Amino acid sequence: MYDIAMIGHISKDIIEDPSGKQHILGGPVVYSSAAAVRSGASVLVVTKAAPRDHEQLAILRENGAEVKVHNSRETTSIHNRYDTPDHERRTVTLLSSASPFTLQEIPTEKARICHLAGLFVGEIPEALIKELATRAPVALDAQGVVRAAGESALVLRDWERKREYLPHVRYFKTDAAEAELLTGRADRDKAADSLLEMGAAEVMITHNTEVLLATRDGERYRAPLTPRNLSGRTGRGDTCFAAYLAWHLSHGRKEALEYAAALVSIKMETPGVFRGTPEDVFARMR
């Protein structure tokens, strides 16, 4: 049995901000698997890519994840442009996309958590949520259900069937902008209340200052983000969510949230995935 089975596309990312442009292999499963494995979890990544790009999946295995890859005509590629120093808002352009996942492509091996780490609407069809929830508790990143392809960039659109599917989601993660879109509430605490009322059991909302966690049974915690710079901002939410899921497997929610906030603060200081140790995280927590 795996601790976490992660489903999602890899992405050949172009990251551009006022300091310049860089090309890296990204996608939620890249950042998420690194954070989870380095936090002690066993991870299976299920992804899709063009055969010519399979060799790039070596980074996932180097990070300690087991990988199952399905062929696709194209590999997903995304251009992220940050226009502000806090890297809180960005323009995301989908340059190419791998094909959507089918239920038959998702292994039936048992996992303690099924993490749906999608980049955009349709990558992991929402109809799979109910079926996968019968196998294991589902963790869902909101970007996979609200970020849709527009004419020139990926745009945020409300999730029309959120009240139907959120009751099947154990762990739901959004950033502040996605939470406001889904609930109409800019106040993050009120947005969390609304998402819990819609059916999610646990809600995580990331912001450039903190991470908020709220649960249906009344627990609510927040932990500050403390990065010394933002050169590794891309992958913030993916890293934070996966670190929380991994640490929460054997620790309480409050400690898991504080651990995740400290880990992602370290990751945000360097481009790429988190490459530290739990001891590094503990030092930041102190």
pLDDT digits (tens, 9 = 90+) for 30-51: 999 999 999 999 999 999 999 9
Nearest to 284 by CA among 237, 242, 243: 243
Percent of the chain with pLDDT over 90: 80
Nearest to 284 by CA among 256, 265, 269, 257: 265
Backbone torsion region of residue 20, taken as left when φ is above 0, otherwise alpha when ψ lies between -120 and 50, otherwise beta: left
Please list, in sequence order, all residues whose beta carbon lies within 8 angstroms of the beta carbon of residue 99, skipping any fewer than 6 positions away: 48, 72, 73, 74
Q: pTM for the complete prediction?
A: 0.93
Q: Find the mean pLDDT for residues 48-76.
A: 94
Band of pLDDT at residue 6, cut at 50, 70 and 90 = very high
- Cβ(85)–Cβ(18) under 8 Å? yes
* pLDDT, position 268: 96
- Map tokens 């620790």 to a residue: 251
Q: Express each pLDDT in 96-122 by its tens digit.
A: 999 999 999 998 778 999 999 999 999
- Map tokens 């295995």 to a residue: 61
* pLDDT, position 85: 65
If you average pLDDT over every residue of the chain, what do you get? 93
The CA-atom distances, in angstroms, between 116 and each of 111, 140, 145, 187, 246 are 13, 5, 10, 26, 14
Q: Which of 38-47, 105-114, 131-140, 183-192 is least confident?
A: 105-114
The CA-atom distances, in angstroms, between 86 and each of 46, 63, 114, 135 are 32, 28, 31, 39
Q: Find the mean pLDDT for residues 249-269.
A: 98
- Cβ(112)–Cβ(1) under 8 Å? yes
Say how many C-beta atoms besides its own lie within 10 A of residue 187's C-beta: 13
Say how many C-beta atoms besides its own lie within 10 A of residue 85's C-beta: 10
Domain residue ranges of the chain, discontinuous segments joined by +? 2-161+232-285
Cα 274 from Cα 180, distance rounded (Å)? 28
User: Would you identify the CATH topology of the domain 2-161+232-285?
Assistant: UDP-N-acetylmuramoyl-L-alanine:D-glutamate ligase (3.40.1190)
The CA-atom distances, in angstroms, between 118 and each of 15, 103, 158 are 18, 15, 16
Q: Which amino acid is at 161?
A: R
Q: Express each pLDDT in 215-232 by its tens digit.
A: 999 999 999 999 999 888
